[in-house]
Amino acid sequence: MKYGKFVSKENLVITDIEVDKFVNYFRTIINKYAQESYSVSVTKNNNKSIVIGFKIAEPKSFRNVYGARVKNYKGVSFLLYKEKGYLENWDWYKMEKIDPTKEREDYVSAPEFQYSCNFCIMGTEIPYKCRTESAIVPKHGRIFQFGTELTDLDFNEAVRDICENVSVPMHG
C-alpha cells in the first residue's frame, strides 16, 4: 500500500530474506525485457541501504533508437531503503493542517515502515542534436517509487523502455 506525505525519520535494517525477495523480483522484471544477460551484484551499506546492480559483461557505446549517443552503458541498478517515519498532516500551500483533529506529525496512522527505491542507469548519453553529456533516464516510467509492499515498486515500464529503446543500438 502506498501512503502519501510519508516523511522518513530513520532507515531500518533490511534483512537477507528481504534482499533475496527484491533480487528475485527485480531479476524477473529485467529478464522479461532484456535481450542480453546481466550479472547480479548486491552491495549493502550497513544493511540500511542496498544497491542491486544488473551489469552487462562489457560497457557499450552506440547511438540508440532516440538518436542519442550512449557512452559506457553498463547496466541498471536499484537503490533500496527501508524507512520508518510519520505521515505529514500539513498543507504547505495553505499553511494549515489538513485534518485539524490529528497532529501535524501523525505517527498513529503511519505504516510500520515503507520501502523507497530509485532506478538508476549506469552510463551517460548525449541527446540528439545536443552537445551536453547527461545521465541516462528512461523516457517512460517512473524512476523513484515507494510503498509498504514489494509489488508497490513497479518498474516494468521504465525497465521495458531501457531494454527496448534506450540501451539498444539504432539499426539502419
State pTM to two decimals: 0.86
pLDDT of residue 54: 94
Residue-wise pLDDT tens digits, 12-54: 999 999 999 999 999 999 999 888 889 999 999 888 899 999 9
**Cβ atoms < 10 Å from Cβ of 101:** 6
Domain assignments of the chain as residue spans, ordered by start: 6-166
With cell 544477460, the residue in question is: 37
Residue-wise pLDDT tens digits, 70-108: 999 999 999 999 999 999 988 889 999 888 888 888 898
Can you name the residues that pair with 144 across neighbouring β-strands?
118
Mean pLDDT of the chain: 89
| CA gap 136, 27 in Å, rounded | 20
What is the C-alpha end-to-end distance of the chain, expressed in Å? 45
101: left (phi over 0), alpha (psi -120 to 50) or beta: alpha
